[in-house]
Amino acid sequence: MATAYQNLSEYDFNSVPDASDMCFGIVCAEWNKAITEALLKGAIDTLERHGVRNENIILMRVPGTFELPFGAKMLAKNKAIDAIITLGCVVRGDTPHFDYVCQGVTKGVMDLNMGSDDVPVIFGVLTNDTMQQSYDRAGGIHGNKGDEAAVTAIKMAAIARDNK
């Protein structure tokens, strides 16, 4: 559903499984740092709200959004990790660079999900036309995509555990 119709941070708390015994990897892009740090804060706060201990959140920073799939692939080698969250922000500019980065990271995350039997990789990447749209989705009027990505990670980790 389009963000205009649903706040990224609103969800039924009771619909999320207990995550107190789960471990999560987060790969966060450094590019557009003001946005990605807000996404990271949202993700960590949400994981902790659902019982994840700070020591069970493994953070990796990568230079940009395009590097997120490689970072996720490296984190997936840690067998203790139940799910991986990728956080990045790509804002449309005057060149086709936006399209290449967005397509590449989307395909990279999907390839990791299709090629892995046991570690879901969550797409927490903002792909907006303006910086304001990004701010609006990183703790602004539309909530925080980091919250949404963390909830998705918990739910997908539970699904993966149930199907091992």
The CATH number for 99's domain is: 3.40.50.960
Domain that holds residue 98: 27-162
**Is 88 in contact with 157 (CB distance < 8 Å)?**
no
Mean pLDDT of 81-93: 96
- A 10 A CB-CB count for 31 gives 17
**Would 92 be classed as within a structural domain?**
yes
- For the stretch 20-71, pLDDT in tens is 999 999 999 999 999 999 999 999 999 999 999 999 999 999 999 999 999 9
**Would 62 be classed as within a structural domain?**
yes
Residue 96, pLDDT > 90, answer: no
Query: How many CA atoms does the CB half-sphere of 38 hold within 13 Å?
Result: 17
Contacts for 156 with CB less than 8 Å, ≥ 6 apart: 83, 120, 122
pTM value surpassing 0.75: yes
Q: How far apart (Å, rounded) are the C-alpha atoms in residues 9 and 130?
A: 20
Please give the pLDDT value at position 1: 43
Burial class (CB in 10 A: 0-12, 13-18, 19+), 104: middle
Place of tokens 């919250």: 147
- Identify the three-state secondary structure at position 72: helix
**Would 118 be classed as within a structural domain?**
yes
Task: Specify the amino acid at residue 145.
Answer: K
Domain count, the chain: 1
**Would 11 be classed as within a structural domain?**
no
**Would 119 be classed as within a structural domain?**
yes
Contacts for 91 with CB less than 8 Å, ≥ 6 apart: 32, 98, 128, 129, 130, 131, 133, 134
Task: Specify the amino acid at residue 87.
Answer: L
**Would 6 be classed as within a structural domain?**
no
Q: Which of 33, 53, 97, 107 is catalytic?
A: 97
Active site residue 97: yes
**Would 1 be classed as within a structural domain?**
no
- For the stretch 136-158, pLDDT in tens is 999 999 999 999 999 999 999 99
